[in-house]
Amino acid sequence: MKIMNKKTLSRAVILIFLFFVLQYVSFRTQGADNPKPSSRYYHEIQEGRELLTELLDNFPGVSIAVGMHDRIVWKEAFGWADAKNKIYATPEHQFRYYSLSKSIAGLAAAKLMEEGKLNIDTAITTYLPDLPEQYCDVTVAQLLSHTAGVRHYSKDEWQKISKYHCNTVEEALPVFLEDKLEFEPGAGYTYTSFGYVLLCHVLEAVSGVPYDEYIHQNFFAPLGLETIALDQQPAAVRNQVKFYQYWNVYKNRGVEAPKVDNSCKFGGGGYVGTAVDLVHLHQAVIKGRLIQPETVEQYFTSFAKSDSTSVGYAFGIGVREAEDGSKYYAHTGTAMGGYGVLIIDPVQELVIVMLGNRYDEAMVTTAKEILKVFRGTV
């Protein structure tokens, strides 16, 4: 039997090592639109890739899309859409948006306001006269800004509601509608997905059509967005990732999150889609293709409590301040099984969406770093 000499053995070890390195890189950068070195955003994308590769210590899979002006300048997915069946994540995979859905509900409210059909400073009982008495002083603006006093989920209630299926917004109301408000409308701030479900009911009354139908007709269809839909609808499960409760990056496997049905959350957290399509939607917003420029300005203007104190929240999106004092707008969408971040800089016409199939707050830090990288290019 012939025995390898040391030189041949060393070469074999190096080749094996390179093979596994290439496999590792391939696994963590599936679905990439590889930029050319001459591309304007080449260095920014390379830096972003490094950040996202590090993030895969926490997530089975991550998808990112970055839009500048009217273009998607970076779309890429990393890791697994389905680890058990060895399906790589791609930019075409659908993730749950969770509370990023609130920006869509806010857009609908802005559109109806622009059309003269909705007065956001009017009591919601003007549009829904059969609501319980405690809502007689609640305005549409207060629902939009989380200052109405409507409660959020109680402990473990999210999981309970996620076992139900709702065909209409009205079916989602009984779980909270009769409860007392937490404070006098306008006097405080409580982030609440229930408040956004009630907002969707108001929007239905104003528009005269089901909430999801209004959204599709006025936003998704005109832009050709085919991956975004409410949870459990056929369009929402065409290419959906698996969602994970635990993930062990060293063993490259995890435990899938319990099955849930987010259909009762509507504009509060019920949409599913790709990172790319959510970027396209908000690019159209800031370019004035869905609402007029003056409405866009109001869409990004923070509401205030009754004492005139700003709440740092606009039409379904939070108002943030960067280290240099400039403003940008952001929202997270979270639940067991997933995490999402939406960042918008209307001045620089920059939109960033990151979606993952496990809950981990590390995504926020990475998203802020990627914001810094791309803001420096304009």
Contact (Cβ atoms closer than 8 angstroms) between residue 199 and residue 140: yes
Q: Can you name the residues that pair with 66 across neighbouring β-strands?
A: 74, 352
Res. 82: pLDDT tops 60: yes
Q: What mean pLDDT do residues 283-310 have?
A: 97
Specify the pTM.
0.90
- Can you name the CATH fold of 32-375? Beta-lactamase (3.40.710)
- Residue 20's pLDDT is 40
* Top-confidence residue, 159 or 9: 159
pLDDT classification of 323: cutoffs 50, 70, 90: confident
Q: What mean pLDDT do residues 313-342 have?
A: 94
The region of weakest confidence among 11-25, 236-250, 321-335 is 11-25
Sorted by where each begins, the domain ranges of the chain are: 32-375
pLDDT in tens, 168-226: 999 999 999 999 999 999 999 999 999 999 999 999 999 999 999 999 999 999 999 99
pLDDT classification of 103: cutoffs 50, 70, 90: very high
The 3-state DSSP class for residue 159 equals helix
CA nearest neighbour of 257 among 331, 162, 332, 165: 162
- Mean per-residue pLDDT of the chain: 91
pLDDT in tens, 85-99: 999 999 999 999 999
Tokens, residue 128:
């829904």
CA nearest neighbour of 46 among 36, 59, 31, 60: 36
pLDDT in tens, 13-61: 444 443 343 344 444 555 445 566 657 899 999 999 999 999 999 999 9
Res. 255: pLDDT tops 60: yes
Contact (Cβ atoms closer than 8 angstroms) between residue 374 and residue 345: no
- Residue 163's pLDDT is 84
What is the Cα gyration radius of the chain?
22
- Residue 31's pLDDT is 46
Distance CA 296, CA 72 (A): 21
pLDDT in tens, 125-137: 999 999 999 999 9
Helical H segments across the chain, by residue range: 6-28, 42-55, 102-114, 140-145, 157-161, 193-207, 211-215, 221-223, 275-286, 293-299, 362-375
